[in-house]
Amino acid sequence: MKVLGFESSCDETGVALVEARSEGQPRLLAEALHSQVDMHAAYGGVVPELASRDHIRRVLPLATQVLQQAGCTLADVDLVAYTRGPGLAGALLVGAGVAVALAAALGKPALGIHHLEGHLLSPFLADDAPQFPFVALLVSGGHTQLMAVAGVGRYELLGETIDDAAGEAFDKSAKLMGLGYPGGPALARLADQGDAQAFALPRPLLHSKDLDFSFAGLKTAVLTQHRKLGAVVTEQARADLAASTQAAIVDVLVAKSLKALKQTGLKRLVVAGGVGANLRLRAMLNAGTARIGAQVHYPPLALCTDNGAMIALAAALRWQHGLATLEHGGAFDVRPRWPLAEIS
């Protein structure tokens, strides 16, 4: 069974073809991605209307590219999957509209996928794919969550952010330092040149008994420290502040993840989402899980950000596990706000 997946929830247009088999993990046949980063950089952040229009321009050429790479035609597609939510309403409508119309034209079913479920399951495309059950650390855009995952569609929320997410802390702190957009990767690159011990920044909720996160106070502390540096900030001082900020965020994510493993008794951690590409986070999680005799799994670096492969994969896994409520006839909706806990 071949699944064509479309991702258009925000500022990346992703299309991929995944093959689901009756046994074994689905395999990625081809994928293509267009990032809108350069377009939005001039505005310092994502402009929803521009994002939607760019998805319209990119989605069909990318689908053609994917099919050509896989050596397949539309006639080979058995299921068309798309991101139903959460995300920007207009952007979601582009991907959903194209996917459902294509499915109707082919006489094939369509399936709407939760964006975060796509991220959560994306490590199954890695060479060292995890096994159920596991704890999942989801660090994607405005989401920071810890989940206990017993299987496909079996997710228990353990903790989540009560204000800013980790990705937002990276991006907002970067903006305060004048690093531009996208801020998270720029801050991480600058942090490589700095001293993570240079500034004593808070680690919110680090020692709380629960598994919730809070990063709004850290952002405020970064702003205060940046103002103290004065109007003329040396490049080294800015690098030190970036390194200290990254260290504070990573320390909290690692501590909470290890605490989740201890509380659940599970020995396997899965990390997914854009922040999961951060090399300091990976190094600290690798060390921390090794220390307690646990394993940690990541998606391939290229699949940490939003992509069509994770959407096609989630649809394939849902089909394999008998959880795919297939859609026929061309009707669809999108859910810009859609808690992961509401799916099963």
The CATH number for 25's domain is 3.30.420.40
Same domain? 171 vs 278:
yes
Separation between Cα atoms, residue 30 and residue 77, nearest integer Å? 13
Same domain? 48 vs 65:
yes
> In the predicted model, is pLDDT for residue 329 greater than 90?
no
pLDDT band with cut points at 50, 70 and 90 for residue 191: very high
Residue 319, domain member (yes or no): yes
> How many domains are contained in the chain?
2
Per-residue model confidence (pLDDT) at position 343 = 87
Per-residue model confidence (pLDDT) at position 24 = 83
Per-residue pLDDT averaged across 198-208, rounded? Answer: 96
Same domain? 177 vs 284:
yes
> In the predicted model, is pLDDT for residue 69 greater than 80?
yes
Local structure of 80: helix, strand or coil:
strand
Mean pLDDT rounded to a whole number for the chain: 96
Residue 126, domain member (yes or no): no
Is the separation of the CB atoms in 286 and 56 below 8 Å?
no
* Domain range for 149: 131-298
Same domain? 159 vs 286:
yes
pLDDT band with cut points at 50, 70 and 90 for residue 341: confident
Same domain? 307 vs 265:
no
Same domain? 13 vs 142:
no
Q: What percent of the chain has pLDDT over 70?
A: 100
> In the predicted model, is pLDDT for residue 233 greater than 90?
no
Same domain? 167 vs 245:
yes
Per-residue model confidence (pLDDT) at position 234 = 93
Same domain? 28 vs 139:
no
> In the predicted model, is pLDDT for residue 110 greater than 90?
yes
Same domain? 67 vs 140:
no
Separation between Cα atoms, residue 231 and residue 69, nearest integer Å? 52
